[in-house]
Copies of this chain bind each other. A is one copy, B any other.
Amino acid sequence: MANFFSLDLVFNALADPTRRAIIGRLTNGPASVSELAEPFEIGLPTFLKHIRVLEEGGLVSTTKAGRVRTCNLTPGALRSADTWLQLHIATWEERLDQLEAHLAHLSEKDRDND
């Protein structure tokens, strides 16, 4: 699952406050492009570019019915980014734990030698 999404495109899509706000809105359910664009003081072409970057990252899918384009969150891409982060945080923490255990061991040995 994690490999299905390009992490380059997912993280790139997340690197913008407007796009993160759109994701925030969509966690509460689908919305039309015009509903989504409303809170932002940017032109529609610029807004549509943001939607496209989110689609390219696999974070959002859109469907068109008549003149209305509806956006949906596709949470798999969020999860693949999260999986990557969690794995690296865990590796880092494991190393810290080992380092701590090693230092504790050294200081015990130090005490024994006193």
Q: State the A residues within 8 Å of B (CB).
A: 7-12, 14-17, 20, 23-24, 27-29, 73, 75, 78-79, 81-82, 84-86, 88-89, 91-93, 95
Interface of A is mostly: helix
Give chain B residues whose Cβ lies under 8 Å from the Cβ of A93. 75
Query: Are A17 and B11 interface neighbours, CB within 8 A?
Result: no
Query: Are B85 and A89 interface neighbours, CB within 8 A?
Result: no
Knowing A20-B84, A92-B75 touch, does A11 contact B8 (C-beta < 8 A)? no
Query: Are A89 and B78 interface neighbours, CB within 8 A?
Result: yes
Instruction: Report the separation of the CA atoms of residues A20 and B81 in the bound assembly, to the nearest whole angstrom.
Output: 12
Query: Are B8 and A17 interface neighbours, CB within 8 A?
Result: yes
Instruction: Report the separation of the CA atoms of residues A27 and B24 in the bound assembly, to the nearest whole angstrom.
Output: 30
